[in-house]
Amino acid sequence: MSEPVDAAALTGAWELVAFREIDTDGRRGEGLLGPDPAGRLLYTAAGHVAVHMTRRGPAATTAHMGYAGRWRLDGGRVVHLIEVSARPDWVGTEQIRDASLRGDTLTLLASTAIDGVPRHRELVWRRLTGAASSSTD
C-alpha cells in the first residue's frame, strides 16, 4: 500500500531504478534510457529539485536528460518548475508527476509531449541512504 506523499517524505536523494514507457493500453516497456538506467533525483527541504538521468554505457551521451528548479506538492502530485534544463523548451514550464511512495521506493508517473507526440512514462526511484544530510539548504 502506498504512503501519503508529503514534503518530508520526498526530501533527500533518490537513485533511478527504472524508466519505462507506458503505451496507450497501459503496457509498460523499456524506455529510451534502456534496461539499466542511471540517475539521481534530489529534493531539498527548501524546495529545490535537480534531476539527471542517462543510459549506461557508450550511448550515455546521446540519452542524457537533466533539469533543475523548484518543486512543490499539489495533492498527490509533485510539480517541478523548470529553471535550467538540457531541453530549452522546458525552461519556465511546470512538469507534473503523479507520485506514490512505498517504503523507500518512489514512483513518479509523467505525461508530456516530446516533439508533439504524447509520452507517458513511469520513473521508479529508490531512496539513497548512508550519506550525511543537513536540514539546511
Q: According to DSSP H, which parts of the chain are helical? A: 7-10
Measured CA to CA, the distance from residue 107 to residue 127 in angstroms comes to: 11
The pLDDT tens digits for 30-73 are 888 888 899 999 999 999 999 999 988 776 566 788 999 999 99
Residue 89 has pLDDT above 50, yes or no: yes
Q: Which amino acid is at 102?
A: R
Residue 60 burial (CB < 10 Å; 0-12/13-18/19+)? middle
Measured CA to CA, the distance from residue 28 to residue 54 in angstroms comes to: 19
Q: How confident is the model at residue 135 (pLDDT cuts 50, 70, 90)?
A: very low
Is there a contact between 79 and 70 (Cβ–Cβ < 8 Å)? Answer: no
